[in-house]
């Protein structure tokens, strides 16, 4: 998770001055893919931590765009809510996934 967060931070720095909706759509794809891959039962805490870390990194980058570019946390919460998917479990338990009914 740390390596992926570091890669996201580097890419956010490159996309610092891109339009917010464009960066939001990119982050939506990245976070959604991470959630679907790691969204196994009992891993919800790690998924929430990852999403929160991405929101914090995005906020830090948005605040560094200009001298007067501070983004309030209220606006950041709205951006995160509109672009980033919530943390949820995507894959069922193994016993449910491999259940055979005939």
Mean pLDDT by 10 residues, the chain (102 residues): 95 95 97 93 94 97 88 95 93 69 64
In a domain, 65, yes or no: yes
CA–CA distance, 27 with 94 (Å, rounded to integer): 29
* pTM attached to this predicted model: 0.86
**Has residue 16 been placed in a domain?**
yes
Distances (CA, A) of 17 to 12, 13, 23: 9, 9, 9
49 assigned to some structural domain: yes
Print the domain residue range for 8.
Answer: 2-97
- Report pLDDT for 97: 64
The answer to whether residue 55 sits within a structural domain is yes
| pLDDT score at 100 | 65
Q: Is there a domain that residue 59 lies in? A: yes
Q: Where are the alpha helices (DSSP H) in 20-99?
A: 20-38, 44-63, 73-83, 94-97
Inside any domain, residue 102? no
- Please name the residues in contact with 71: beta carbons below 8 A apart, sequence gap of 6 or more: 59, 62, 63, 79
């Amino acid at each position: 998770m740390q390596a992926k967060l570091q890669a996201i931070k580097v890419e956010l720095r490159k996309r610092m001055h891109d339009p917010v909706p464009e960066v939001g759509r990119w982050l939506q794809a990245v976070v959604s893919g991470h959630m679907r891959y790691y969204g196994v039962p009992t891993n919800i805490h790690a998924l929430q931590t990852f999403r929160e870390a991405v929101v914090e990194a995005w906020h830090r980058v948005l605040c560094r765009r200009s001298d007067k570019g501070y983004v309030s946390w209220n606006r950041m919460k709205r951006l995160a809510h509109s672009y980033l998917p919530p943390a949820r479990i995507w894959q069922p338990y193994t016993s449910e996934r491999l259940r055979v009914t005939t």
